[in-house]
Amino acid sequence: MSNIPNDLRYTKSHEWVRAGKDGAVEIGISDHAQGALGDLVFVEVPEPGRSLSAGEACAVVESVKAASDVYCPVSGKVTAGNPALAAQPELLNQDPYGAGWLFRLQISAPIDDAALMSAAGYANFLAAEGH
């Protein structure tokens, strides 16, 4: 059973969103996603200053096996990409909700709550998908 922290919100494409103060958010991929991908060996995060729309492919995570796109869960402007992932992509496997965060964003529009799931909602979604 994968770890699904209660204080985060989730997408159907397995990203998580941590809302901070004044519209700052942190984004990563779920424990389930990192487990399904396997050992990650390359991560490409968006450059600071880049404007992203919700649903836009904005990062790439590659395991030994395959490359997968990460979709931005909310709209906004990138404030930081996780600099540690270039040298240590395995942080994403080891600590997907902490040291393995992907990028930070200043939102440009209120978060569309209908597009995101709570921890319980995401757990149900995974169960329904047969995980």
Partner 1 sequence: MGQKTVLYDTHVLQGAKIVDFGGWEMPLHYGSQIDEHNVVRRDSGMFDVSHMGVVDLRGDRVLEFLRGLLANDVARLKTPGKALYSCMLLPSGGVIDDLIVYFMSDTWFRLVVNAGTRAKDLAWIRRHAMSCSVSVAERDDLAMIAIQGPKARERVLPILPAAWRTRASKLAVFQGGCFDSWFIARTGYTGEDGFEVMLPVVDAIATWTALRATGIQPAGLGARDTLRLEAGMNLYGNDMDEDHHPLECGLAWTVAFEPAERDFIGRQVLEGLGRTSDDELVGLLLEERGVLRSHQKIIPAGEVTSGTFSPTLNRSIALARVPRNTASPVQVEIRGKLHVASIVKPPFVRHGRALIPIQP
Residues that bind partner 1 in the complex, under the rule CB under 8 A: 38-39, 41-42, 44, 60, 62, 64-67, 86
| CA dihedral of 92, 105, 114, 57, whole degrees rounded to 10 | -60
Contact predicate 64/39, CB 8 Å: yes
- With respect to partner 1, which residue has the nearer C-beta, 41 or 120? 41
Instruction: Give me the least distance between CB of 10 and partner 1, in Å please.
Output: 22
- With respect to partner 1, which residue has the nearer C-beta, 64 or 120? 64
- With respect to partner 1, which residue has the nearer C-beta, 39 or 47? 39
The side-by-side arrangement of strands in the sheet containing 9-10 is: 9-10, 15-19, 24-29, 103-107, 76-81, 51-52
Please give the structure tokens belonging to residue 115.
Answer: 């597009």
Please give the structure tokens belonging to residue 119.
Answer: 């921890």
Between CA 68 and CA 76 the distance in angstroms is 22
Q: What share of the chain is helix, strand, coil (3-state, %, to 5)?
A: 25, 35, 45
- With respect to partner 1, which residue has the nearer C-beta, 44 or 95? 44
Instruction: Give me the least distance between CB of 13 and partner 1, in Å please.
Output: 18
